[in-house]
């Protein structure tokens, strides 16, 4: 039987979806699923739902539960990582300290001061997980869901021998949005997407052999449609491609959208606070904390069914286990130059062919130069954040924040240095040792 370890399984809703995905495939329905979390209460909630799915679906899967990471990893074939390191305090610091300086992040989990410092506090734990895997399941595939995706995967590629791929649902979610805007069925779209996580580009998109881009450009002339996705439509208008992830996310990755409230109001017809609110993810995460502690309140285990979500993990595992070919957009090392005009050490998100022989990234050649240039502004930050984490290099952390497009658009170099120093001091307990 295939053994699949879930590290960070206390997030019941997300873990439930992934367990249901696995059980939805007959070929995987007798798997051993080992659920691990350091929070016993939240782990118990996930276990109850997982066992209910097994019972209600009459499948032969075995559900294991443990707070011991090494026990979960022992003999695993696949490891799904979904951890959150540090809890509320460092998350608050990563958003609120930059906000005091005028750097207003909506999400703060991918780039910017928030993404950099989230990466710094997450990488040491991921390296410990990888070290345990090298001892206990060296041939297992690590499937990472934790953000900042590119930063943490890059660190794993550089510092460990564990095969790692990063999984994100931004490509199918973006396809869903495009289908809505041009009013065609999502399942009839054909697309070719490449770039970096949360900033990958729909290089080609067709519906029944017809180029969707003229339809999308027509759609954005409709004010109602435009205001649903202002930043992505502005990027399309000025750079010629539609990007993955939402406008709210993408507003943080560029210097154009979060520094002038009047411009935002002009672009959107709504106030800055309504369109691009600061700390959206932080406030939502805090509000949902009580729900996570009582996740079974509105769930009847007797009614829980096995359902398949849009997440990639189960499809990837099924393809490898059954030699069923699929093409999925995954985060992998650029290596031999899957994207030729991005650096080989970068973590890129490209189409990958998956079958019984494993994961095979596709070459997409060169991105249009303007798109590669936008990607590089983020890759530069990611590289220095990884250096700071792996080398314990405090100066590299400072430089990463100084190169961040949003921060640099708002602050002087001295102000950024002061901001970074304050973040380092506030989050010292959660960070690797820095020289």
Give the active site residue among 169, 249, 398, 417. Answer: 169
CA dist 139 and 132 (Å) reads 12
Contact status, residue 188 vs residue 205, Cβ threshold 8 Å: no
Q: Which of 348, 398, 356, 357 is nearest to 378 (CA)?
A: 348
| 318 labelled catalytic | no
Q: Which of 104, 101, 99, 153 is nearest to 126 (CA)?
A: 153
For residue 194, count other CB atoms closer than 10 A to its CB.
25
Alpha-helix residue ranges (DSSP H) falling in 240-288: 247-250, 261-268, 272-275, 280-287
SS (H, E, C) 117-156: HHHHHHHHHHHHHHHHHHHHCCCCEEEECCCCHHHHHHHH
Burial zone of 310 (CB within 10 Å; 0-12 exposed, 13-18 middle, 19+ buried):
middle
CA 154, chain centre distance (Å): 13
Residues with catalytic function: 169
């Amino acid at each position: 039987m295939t053994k699949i370890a879930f590290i960070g399984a206390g997030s019941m809703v997300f873990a439930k979806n992934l367990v249901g995905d696995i059980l939805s495939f007959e070929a995987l329905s007798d798997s051993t699923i080992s659920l691990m979390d350091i929070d016993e209460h939240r782990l118990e909630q996930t276990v109850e739902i997982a066992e209910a799915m097994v019972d209600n679906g009459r499948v032969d899967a075995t559900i294991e539960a443990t707070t011991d990471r090494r026990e979960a990893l022992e003999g695993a074939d696949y490891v799904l990582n979904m951890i959150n390191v540090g809890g509320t305090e460092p998350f608050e610091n990563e958003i609120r300290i930059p906000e005091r300086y005028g750097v207003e992040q909506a999400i703060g989990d991918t780039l910017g001061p928030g993404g950099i410092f989230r990466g710094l506090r997450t990488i040491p734990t991921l390296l410990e997980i990888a070290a345990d895997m090298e001892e206990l399941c060296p041939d297992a595939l690590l499937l990472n869901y934790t953000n900042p995706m590119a930063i943490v995967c890059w660190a794993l590629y550089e510092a460990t021998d564990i095969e790692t791929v990063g999984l994100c649902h931004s490509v199918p979610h973006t396809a869903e949005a495009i289908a809505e805007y041009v009013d065609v069925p999502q399942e009839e779209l054909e697309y070719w997407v490449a770039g970096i996580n949360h900033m990958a580009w729909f290089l080609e998109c067709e519906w029944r052999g017809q180029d969707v881009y003229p339809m999308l450009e027509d759609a954005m002339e409709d004010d109602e449609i435009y205001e649903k996705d202002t930043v992505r439509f502005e990027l399309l208008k000025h750079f010629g491609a539609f990007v993955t992830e939402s406008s709210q996310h993408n507003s943080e990755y560029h210097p154009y959208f979060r520094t002038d409230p009047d411009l935002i109001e002009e672009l959107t017809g709504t106030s800055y606070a309504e369109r691009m609110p600061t700390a959206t993810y932080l406030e939502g995460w805090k509000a949902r904390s009580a729900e996570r502690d009582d996740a079974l309140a509105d769930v009847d285990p007797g009614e829980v069914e096995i359902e398949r979500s849009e997440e990639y993990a189960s499809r990837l595992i099924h393809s490898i286990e059954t030699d069923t070919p699929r093409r999925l957009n995954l985060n992998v090392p650029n290596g031999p130059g899957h994207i030729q005009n991005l650096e080989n050490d970068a973590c890129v998100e490209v189409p990958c062919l998956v079958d019984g022989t494993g994961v095979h990234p596709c070459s997409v050649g060169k991105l249009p130069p303007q798109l590669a240039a936008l990607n590089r502004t983020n890759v530069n930050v990611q590289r220095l954040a990884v250096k700071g984490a792996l080398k314990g290099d405090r100066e590299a952390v400072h430089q990463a924040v100084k190169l961040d497009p949003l921060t640099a658009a708002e602050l002087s170099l001295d102000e950024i240095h002061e901001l970074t120093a304050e973040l380092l001091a506030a989050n010292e307990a959660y960070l690797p040792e820095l020289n």
